[in-house]
Amino acid sequence: MILKILLESAVPVLLLLPLIFIFAKDKNQIKTIVLFVLIFICYQILLKIPLEYKAFQIINGKRNWTGKLFGISFGLLTYLLLYQKLKPFNFLRFKQDKKALLKTILVSSILICTAFFSYFDTRTDFNIEILAFQLTMPGIDEEIMFRGILLALLLTCLQDKIRIKDKTFGNPSVLIIGILFGLVHGFSVTDGLELRFEFYPFIWTSVSGYILSWITIESKSILLPILSHNMINFIQTLMKMIK
């Protein structure tokens, strides 16, 4: 069980380390990159422990309420401890950038609308607890960590553009967080320690993770990503229950 948790927690971020180092501003960013890796691994371990060890569960249910509460608590504590370091990219606030408000709301709305396609997915039984969970916990927990802390950390230590010869492309921090978000949802380890990879969840969550990171940077807040994330999860789940 312990090895399974460690593998699931470490493999996604370790796979992306070469890419992170490629886009590092300079060699002085190694400490920040190591901090990024350690925070991610610790966060993932806290999420997964209640799933594997029932003694750690505070709330019993069909979903990982306890793990999400651990994740939120760890995220907020990390934010407080690293406040000065994260200050240039302080996304844990409600205030939106007014200049970007229209386009970020538009993109968020389009992203939310894609959730209705889940109606064509496999049907699941109706369950109020699962709907309540999807409407609240994942967005708060994952946006605090992925966009509020991990994205902010990368923005402090990576280049602001992907440069190939004379051309520049999107932000490497946004790309890396998008892929990492996808790996978390697409990569898993069985009880027999077999590595598994689900392509569709990886692609969908990588794209949505990229867009949510872009919205965070443009709006300078994780408020819209939290609301969008929870609405997407809720609608996707509801569509599969009512079909």
- Residue-range domain boundaries for the chain: 2-242
Q: List the structure tokens of 205.
A: 């969550």
Q: Give the global pTM.
A: 0.96
The pLDDT tens digits for 76-124 are 999 999 999 999 999 999 999 999 999 999 999 999 999 999 999 999 9
**Mean pLDDT (the chain, rounded):** 96
How sure is the predictor about 169, in pLDDT bands with cuts at 50, 70 and 90?
A: confident
| pLDDT attached to residue 115 | 97
Tokens describing residue 185? 């949802």
Task: Inform me whether the pLDDT recorded for 128 exceeds 90.
Answer: yes
Find out whether 40 and 11 touch, Cβ atoms under 8 Å. Answer: no
DSSP string, 182-202: HHHHHEEE-TT--EEE-HHHH
Residues 30-79: pLDDT tens digits? 999 999 999 999 999 999 999 999 899 999 899 999 999 999 999 999 99
Residue 162 CA to residue 172 CA, distance in Å, equals 6
Percent of the chain having pLDDT more than 70? 100
Pairing outcome for strands 187-189 and 163-164? unpaired
Q: What are residue 23's phi and psi, to 5 degrees?
A: -100, 5
Q: What is the pLDDT of residue 239?
A: 97
The pLDDT score that the predictor gives to residue 181 is: 99
> Which residue is it, tokens 């890419």?
19
Residues whose CB is less than 8 angstroms from the CB of residue 26 and which lie 6 or more positions away in sequence, other chains included: none
